[in-house]
Structure formats: C-alpha cells, structure tokens
Structure 1
Amino acid sequence: MNKEAPLLFAGISALFAAFEEMGISTKNIKWIQTENEKNIEQESHDRLSSLPSEILDHILSFLSMNEVVKTSLLSRKWRYFWDSTPCLSFDFRDFWNQERCLNLSYGECVIKFWVFVKCAIVIRSPICRLRLHCEVCDTIQLDSLLYLCAMKEVQELDIFTGYGILQCPSDRGVPTHVDAFIQGVNSLVELQPLTSFSNLKTLNLVGVQFDDSDIAENVFSDCGVLETLSLEHCCFVMRNHLKISANNLRTLNFINNGPDWWDYACMFDGELELHTPNLVAFWYSGPVLQLSQSSDMQFLKNASIELQYQNKPGDLRAMVLGIRHVQELSVSPNFVLYYSPEFKKYAGDFSPLDSLSSLKVDMEFTGDHMEGIIKLLQLSCNLETLCIRFTELPGIISWESRKIDAPIISHKLNEIEIFTACGLENLVELIRFFVENGKSLEKINITQEEEMLDLEEFYTLHDAELACESVSISIGLASASGTIKMFDFSFWKCGSGTAGQSIEYGR
C-alpha cells in the first residue's frame, strides 16, 4: 500500500469536515434539473464545461481556493473538479472576509485557514503552482507547509507571510478528527524533515521569518532544478551565514530590507555563500552584503546593486569581487560613494570589472560622488555604454575637471547619456572631464528640464583640450506640452585649440 494512503484518506475526511463548518455541504447537494433546464443546457452545449481541462485549470488558477471550491455548485460536472486543479492559491484576507460572517474570532479563523490549506494540499498530486498569502505564520506552520510542498513536488511556490511578526494561535477549537490529521502532518515533518525540493523551479518568499532553526539551511541547501529565487523583506533573526546552492539558478532577487518600523536586526548582515555557477541576473537592495569568497557567478550578465544603508565600508570589496564578471551593472549613489577617496582608508582597493560593458549610475552631484564615478570608470576598462542619472538638485560645488595622465575612460566608450533635473551650470565641469579624457568619445546626450537650461555655460568648453578628434553634445528638453527642443553643440580640434558651433531645433 502507498505509504501516503492513510494520510491521504485522513486529509480527504478532514477537508470535507472543514467544508461543512464553512457552510458548504458537499454531500447534500442535489443536482435536480427541470425538463426545460435540460433542454436549455443541451442547446447551449455548456461551452465553458466543454473546454479542455488544461484551459479550465488555467482559468481557475486566477481564483483563490475559496472561489475554486464554490465552483462545485455550478453543475454535476463541476462537482469534483476543484479537487484536481494543479494550481492552488490561498489568501487569508479572502478567507477572513468570508468566515467572520459566521461569528468566528480572528484566532479561530486562522486555525481553520491552516487546516484548509494543509488538507487541500494533501488530497492532490502533483501540484504545479502554490501561492499563499497569510500574515499569521510561525516556524511550525512554515516548516510543515514547506514539507508538504516538497512531498507534492511543487514546481512554483510563492509565500507571503507578513514580515514574520504575527504568530499562529494554538490549535484549540479544532475538531478532534481534523486536529488528529494536522498533528499527523506535523509528526511526519518531525520524523522526515525537509531535505530538498526535487521539482521546484520558482521560489518567491516575501516577509518570511527565518530564525535560528534549520529551515533556511534545508530550503536552500539543495535546489536541484531551481531557476528563479526571490527573497523580499524576509526577516533573518540570529543568522550569520546563509548558503544557497542551486546549479541551475539563473535569477536571484534579494530585497534585504523591510518597512520603516522594521528593526535593523531583521535584515541579513552575515555572510552569503552562493553556489550558483549559471546565475545570469542578480538584483540586490539593502546594506552592504558580505559575499563569500567561494561564491560562484562566472556567467553573470545583469546585476543591480542598490545600497540603502552605509555599513562596514570594507565589506563592499567582497561584494564587488563576487560580481566581478558582470556585463551590465546598475548601481545606487551609496555604491558610487564607496569608491571615493573618503572611503579608501576603509574599503581599500577594489577588483577591476573587466567584463563590464554597460554601466547605469544613480548619483548625487557632490565632489565625493564625482571622484567615485571617476574611480569606477578607471576599473571598467572595457566599458561600452555609460548612463548617469543625477538624483538630487545640486548646489555650487568646488570640484573641477582635470586631465588624467593614465587613460581611465575605456577606448570602447563613444557615447554617454546624462539625465538631470538640475541646472546645467554644474554639469559643465563633468562634461569637460569627459571630453578631455575620452579618446574615443563621439557624443554626449543630456536630457533635463527646460526651465533649467543655461546654454551660455557650454561656450566655456571652447577652450577644452579634446582628447578625441571631435565630439557633439546634444541637449534635449521635453516641456509639459509635449514639445521637444534639441540643442546641439559640436566641438572639434582646431590646431592647438577647440572650435565649435550650436544648432537649435524643435518639434
């Protein structure tokens, strides 16, 4: 006999008992039709019911499990269709809105919801996708849920548990036969702890709390076919090491922060060890992340690093070392600031980004940020495209352009994009730096607000000593009416000096 048969039988019994408590009777429904109704049904041919089961499953995948169960009342053919759909979606908010009409307390509703979830999982196999939204969760419920998902070979799993702050109430008030089933599931979890997900391809966890138990280690230790992993606003309490081992993983999204009221201690600030040799895309937001030296991301193509906090500046070296093979990189102002001389005594020397071909930078218009971007360019010798977006209105700064003896702007970089809402008078020194040090530079495109424009500042570039033969500066202004004005300045070497002209046109 199948070892899961007793558990399956108990699950079916418990599930029907849960439905009875909800006011949905599945055994007393009588499917009686008048002769006229039968004729109407035959004439209409019930187009919905005649659709292939794959299409019906796809339609039901957009509904919560509460709504899917209610489809059993549609007709005789739909009576048991709900118990075979491979896509499950549980949302406690919908469950609570329905159950409180029965004068149940919040705690009683939470207990019934988790009974409903576990029973519905047990009675069907396989499960292609499971989505769960419940703000009330604890380690026991999470552990048993992950075990059931692994047992049912779930391929796509999305869990939102409300930042791990609300704990589940005790199981008091659950009927004896249902409580026996739940205790049986929990016992199986204790006897056969979660080891790996054999079929899981997508895992999205939002607000899940990982304490000092082994859940996190078990979940991420051996994800054989996992391709996409997203950890958003998860709480890592008392954990100083996190290992993710997934040879097929291609996308990793790690949002390492939470709402304003969150304690900083909930964020993960330990060592992250990645065994992801085929990772292609890596997005990170939060404090500086300590990447283990054994982390493997040799084929990394896209990375986005948004440092929202300044902590332990020296740790950024390990993070940069881990992403050193990246080809396309987007970074935040704090990332650029770490490259400035102000942090050199803490951060030391950074690894070169020899594979980097595209760089997108958000930065402030300050002297430290200007020096930071220069250092970053110096370490990106094969850069092809550069895009800079200034995030704050600048004041008047004392930073001035200068020529660098050693080439620091890639010989492959021929076009630069700049986006700003600030006055252009402060940008001239940065543009002067680019034209005096960019030997292959051909074009600089600037987009900004119309009312900030001061074209006269650009005439001061006539005395710049161009490193390239010629360069054009294009300024685009988009007004509220949709009108676009373009101003083009062209500069070229003329003997020992620089000549230029400006052209204005609009549409």
Structure 2
Amino acid sequence: MNIEALLLFAGISALFAAFEEMGISTINIKWTQTENEKNIEQESHDRLSSLLSEILDHILSFLSMNEVVKTGLLSRKWRYFCHSTPCLNFDFRDFWNQERCLNLSYNECVIKFWVFVKCAIVIRSPICRLRLYCEVCDTIQLDSLLYLCALKEVQELDIFTGYGILQCPIYCGVPTHTLNLVGVQFDDSDIAANVFSDCGVLETLSLEHCCFVMRNHLKISANKLRTFNFVNNGPYWWDYTCMFDGELELHTPNLVSFWYIGPVLQLSQSSDMLFLKNASIELRYQNTPGDLGAMVLGIRRVQELSVSPNFVLYYSPAFEKYAGDFSPLDSLSSLKVDMEVTGDHMEGLIKLLQLSRNLETLCIRFTELPGIISWESRKIDVPMISHKLKEIEIFTVYDPEKLVELIRFFLENGKFLEKINITQEEEMLDLEEFYTLHDAELACESVSISIGLASASGTVKMFDFSFWKCGSGTAGQSIEYGR
C-alpha cells in the first residue's frame, strides 16, 4: 500500500472515529457536498487536504518521519505538513534502507540520521511525542537528544535501541512527562550520578529489557511519578544476562501503578509508595530465590494486586527459608492470582489470604493441567477469609472437578462467603464430584456455586449448586439451564 492510499484509509477511519466520539451514528450518513467542495474535488481530487488539522496530525503520527517527509510530494498543500506534525517517529532501519541507495557508508548514514533527527526537532514546536529506534547511538548523541527534548518540552519520549550497546548519559533530570527506555545500557557512573534523581515532571516511566549487569544500586526520585513499569529481563550478551539484581530505591510518594516482571526485586527500606493503588508482579526465577518478604514490604499499601504462580509459590512452606517474613497487606481489597493446582500452590494461596484481612474481591486463574492432586481441605484456626470477601471468581481450562478440595476449603473457612463462580472454557464436567460437597461443614449460613461451561457453538450451560446449613450437616440442590 502506497503512502497516499494509506493516508486515505487512515483519514476515513479517523473521521468515523471522530463521529463516534461525538455520538453521531455513521450507519445512515449520506455524504453531501457544497458547490465549493465540488469545485475543489473537480480541480484537484484532493479530499485529504480538507480534513481538520487535528485529524491529519493523528494520521501522520502512525508514519515514520521518512514517510511523513515523502507526503510533501502528494501536492502543494502537503509540502509543509511535515514541519508541523507534533508526533515524531524516527526509525534508523527505514532511514538506512533509503539512504544506502545513495551509496553512503553505514557510518555516513548514522551521522546523516542524527542530523535529520535534530533538525526535525528544532524546526517544530510543540512536540507531543517523540519515538526513536536506533541501534547505533552513543552517549553524546543521546545526551544532546535529551537536551533538545527539554528545550522543546516533549511530553512523551520513547527510546528503543534494539538491545544495542547504548550507554545512558550523565544527564540530571528527565525532561519529559513520559519516558520509555528499551534495551538501554546503564553503567556505574550513570547510577552513581543518579540519572533519575531529579525527575520533577516525570509522570510515567518504563524500563524494559535494559542492561544492568553488575550494578548494585538504582535510585529513582520522582515526586510526580504515577506509573512505573519495570520489565527486568535484560538481553543476553556473551552468555550472561543483564537484568538488574541490586537494590532499587524508589522515592515516588505519588506512585499509583507499579508493574514488574523479573526475579525477586530488592526494594530499599527507604522506598516510599504511600498511595499505591494497583500492582502487577510476575516473578521469574534466577538462580537462588531472593527475599520476597522485603519486596512485599515495599508494596504493603497496595489496594489491587495481580500475581504470578511463582509469587504464590513463595508463600508456601517449601520456600519459607527463602521468602523471609511477610508483611500484612491490610490495604489490599482486590487480589488476582495465577496459580497451578498443586499442594504447594494451595498452601501459598492460603498464606497469602491470611495476610489479606480486608480482601473484598478474589479472582483465581489456573494456568496448567494438574497431575495427581494429593492436597486435602482442612479448617484453619486463624481467620483466613476476610469478612468483606463474599464472592470468589475461578477460571480454569480443565475439568472443575479437580478443584473440589479447594472449593471445600472455601466452604469450610469462608464465614461470610455467599457465592463461588467458576468459568470453564470447554464443556466437560462430572457433577458427581460436586455432590460430595454436601457433607462439608459450612462456615457460613448458605452459599451458591455457579459453573458456566461454554461450547464451540457459542451456547453456555449453567449449573447452579446451593448449600446451606441443616442441623449439623449441609443440604443442597443443583439446577441446570442453558442459553
């Protein structure tokens, strides 16, 4: 698809999206033209130029700067659009594919690329977003780029080096509201100078697959930071990994969202996340497990938490010598858990629930097919399920009958539990297993279990079980219906 066709398609899509946002239905629109518009169409057949500048800027934001410059060939009216677009996308790969046709060497092309980047930044204002993909970038070039971004007050800055060797410059203060770094290499001098020690306006920070090999301390100080994404899974160079395994010190009192992927993170005790609303922790093993207890201490005020199977496993007795002491999660109201149907995962979940005394929402998703399950339900003397938790959601890809013991555990320990919802992807269920729950000693007065099974045809079968106390035992009934 050529540029003109791409712009036409994107322009029409943007128009429809704009109509939808204004509440205007596009189903029965009849396109009409004024006499002037008809004359324009007859003379130039150029409808794109008549679009609002905001729509044109939105269309151009999907193109690289090489392609934006080429749009100047479409007509006279497009000649200067490349000088006004507020969203800049620079991709050295596209630049190299074009310029090498001029018999330039690779190094000559790199020099020309950076001249092109800096000139494009200088001639326009404002700049809302700048994205850069370049595998060849040294400290001097990146330092000058950050300086220009500070002058132009760039709102969002994305830098992706393609896992190339790019050293972050000694530049104090991040000059943008949003900063995304992918594949950037940090050295000792950068960390010692506290690259992120004075981020006065930074609100969103993302560090993905960056190289922190042999680094033992990283400090981030940003009073306005609200979102921090850290994919601590650096590239592999010369048979070693570059992920960060040192101490992370966060001075982010207004942080709202924290998303982390990697091994257990060593959070400094001086870290402050006072208003953390939601966090997602996906732990991946790296040699000996670290101290998860210290990491949990750093996020102890979180309200909504999503965790991976390894996180749950750390709470089990099998990993007690590695995990250390866990802090209560008294502010936690919503918990989403990915786990396996094994005894260790079950015990880890129980421990996690015991520390979440104000939990209101629990969602469990089972990730793998189980083998032989030897774990059995039991009553817990210490209160396990919060008095605010009344409904539990369970998602599974296999026969729910293998979850009977876990469901029995909830029935016997959930004093305020009212409903358990189970969603099954495939239609397979043995109801006889659920009838065995009638001998469970309910901790609450009554509870219902709803199982939804979706078939390939799109129909959904629902099985409802009701349990209530009856003397010293439990009575119940089941109802089946479909739609």
Q: Is the TM-score greater than 0.5?
A: yes
Distance in 2, matches of 1:226 and 1:288, equals 26
Secondary structure in 2 matching 1:294: coil
Shift of the 30–395 alpha-carbon distance from structure 1 to 2, 3 Å rule, reads closer
Contact 2:191 2:217 in 1 (8 A): no
Secondary structure in 1 matching 2:481: strand
Contact 2:126 2:153 in 1 (8 A): yes
Secondary structure in 1 matching 2:50: coil
Distance in 2, matches of 1:25 and 1:493, equals 54
Q: Which residue of 1 aligns with 2:348?
A: 372
Shift of the 35–110 alpha-carbon distance from structure 1 to 2, 3 Å rule, reads farther
Shift of the 4–13 alpha-carbon distance from structure 1 to 2, 3 Å rule, reads same
Shift of the 264–404 alpha-carbon distance from structure 1 to 2, 3 Å rule, reads farther
Distance in 1, matches of 2:64 and 2:130, equals 11
CA apart distance, 1:86:
3.2
TM-score (norm 2): 0.84
Quick check: 1:222 aligned with 2:198?
A: yes
CA offsets, 1:115-140, max 9 Å, x none?
32123223444433211112233333
CA apart distance, 1:300:
0.8
Secondary structure in 2 matching 1:504: strand
Secondary structure in 1 matching 2:276: coil
Shift of the 7–268 alpha-carbon distance from structure 1 to 2, 3 Å rule, reads farther
Contiguous gaps of at least 5 residues in structure 1: 178-201
CA apart distance, 1:165:
4.0
CA offsets, 1:177-207, max 9 Å, x none?
9xxxxxxxxxxxxxxxxxxxxxxxx111122
Shift of the 272–397 alpha-carbon distance from structure 1 to 2, 3 Å rule, reads same
Contact 1:112 1:174 in 2 (8 A): no
Q: Which residue of 2 aligns with 1:430?
A: 406
CA offsets, 1:325-351, max 9 Å, x none?
111100000000110011112222200
Moved more, 163-172 or 113-122: 163-172
CA offsets, 1:222-277, max 9 Å, x none?
12121111111112233221111111111111111146778553111111111111
Shift of the 310–301 alpha-carbon distance from structure 1 to 2, 3 Å rule, reads same
Contiguous gaps of at least 5 residues in structure 2: none
CA apart distance, 1:469:
0.4
Distance in 1, matches of 2:450 and 2:238, equals 45
Shift of the 234–11 alpha-carbon distance from structure 1 to 2, 3 Å rule, reads farther
Distance in 1, matches of 2:20 and 2:449, equals 73
Distance in 1, matches of 2:253 and 2:407, equals 39
Shift of the 169–460 alpha-carbon distance from structure 1 to 2, 3 Å rule, reads closer
Aligned-residue Cα RMSD (Å) equals: 10.7
Secondary structure in 1 matching 2:194: helix
Distance in 2, matches of 1:457 and 1:22, equals 53
Contact 2:174 2:199 in 1 (8 A): no
Contact 1:110 1:169 in 2 (8 A): no
Distance in 2, matches of 1:249 and 1:402, equals 44
CA apart distance, 1:14:
36
Shift of the 8–437 alpha-carbon distance from structure 1 to 2, 3 Å rule, reads closer
Distance in 2, matches of 1:354 and 1:174, equals 34
Distance in 1, matches of 2:482 and 2:22, equals 66
Moved more, 491-500 or 159-168: 159-168
CA apart distance, 1:22:
43
Would you say how many aligned residue pairs link Structure 1 and Structure 2?
483
Secondary structure in 2 matching 1:238: coil
Answer 1 or 2: higher relative contact order, Cα 8 Å, separation at least 6.
1
Distance in 1, matches of 2:223 and 2:61, equals 29
TM-score (norm 1): 0.80
Shift of the 444–106 alpha-carbon distance from structure 1 to 2, 3 Å rule, reads same
Contact 1:466 1:493 in 2 (8 A): yes
Distance in 2, matches of 1:14 and 1:490, equals 51
Distance in 2, matches of 1:473 and 1:10, equals 48
Moved more, 150-159 or 291-300: 150-159
Secondary structure in 2 matching 1:368: helix
Distance in 2, matches of 1:298 and 1:70, equals 49
Secondary structure in 1 matching 2:422: strand
Moved more, 45-54 or 436-445: 45-54
Distance in 1, matches of 2:362 and 2:14, equals 61
Contact 2:175 2:199 in 1 (8 A): no
CA apart distance, 1:464:
0.7
Shift of the 412–17 alpha-carbon distance from structure 1 to 2, 3 Å rule, reads closer
CA apart distance, 1:320:
0.5
Secondary structure in 2 matching 1:236: coil
CA apart distance, 1:318:
1.5
Distance in 1, matches of 2:453 and 2:182, equals 40
